[in-house]
Amino acid sequence: MLTICICDDDQSVASELGEKIRMFMEKHQRDYRILTYTEGNKLLQQLSERPAGWIYLLDIVMPGVSGMEIARQIRGFDETAAILFLTSSTEYAVESYEVWASAYLIKPIKTKCLEEALLRLPMMKQPVPLSGLLLRERGIHKSVSYDSICCLESRRNKICISQNSGEHLEIYSTMQEMEQKLKGHSEFVRTHRSYMVNLRYIREISSEEIILSFGERIPLSKKYVSSVKTAYFHYVEDLFHNTKGGDGCHSI
């Protein structure tokens, strides 16, 4: 997972930058998280843990600790970190070379300039495919394995995701948005306007409900009965064929 750390004493600048980076990372399908600070001292407290390989976007001129001083401390324990300076002036350009800065971005920061700077970073050269569904929960981005998702339930403006571990995640989204995210994963089917299930966890199907392997009952509306039964039939059929050996016998 890539960690992108933004430090700018102007909250509006930090928020706008965070949104641009979020759109860039999701466009390039990267697993990431964004940390935002408006005070250099608070960022330095985080750096006491000496994290390695982060991407830092630092405002050079800030009250108290400057972005240049933060960069010097980063270089004291991590030569692999990517440092991008944010500034309204070019007067610190020469000094930025002392800490091997990857980019020097002039405010207001243009989206194109930001994206070009990010694409040049070594950690962005080799895309790491997502191992699962990319979700954002309480401001933290995480990747959840598709196989671990049992069902999804729409609750007003949130989606509750039940996992086989018993854990439940709540994110702000709609069922339509989740259908789009899961497009191409045929094991997920819609059973009701408020529910979607993973076929691998179905234990029983009736005309009105579905019982999952751990006992949870999911409503099945008339609109989806036929499509769910057909999808489940094909799923079981594929499972059967995939577990057969070359001699026509089941492999164990």
The domain boundary residue, chosen from 124, 149, 176 = 124
For 199, the domain range is 133-242
Residue 124: what pLDDT?
82
pLDDT digits (tens, 9 = 90+) for 165-185: 888 999 999 999 999 889 888
Domain count, the chain: 2
Domain boundary among 124, 159, 175: 124
Are 140 and 213 members of one domain? yes
Residue 201 lies in a domain: yes
What CATH number is associated with residue 201?
2.40.50.1020
Q: Are 162 and 151 in contact (CB under 8 A)?
A: yes
Structure tokens at 227: 């499509």
Please give the pLDDT value at position 131: 58
18 and 43 inside one domain = yes
pLDDT < 50: residue spans in the chain: 128-129, 241-252
What the block records as the tokens of 231 is 């999808």
Query: How far is the C-alpha of 185 from the C-alpha of 245, rounded, in Å?
Result: 25
pLDDT of residue 149: 93
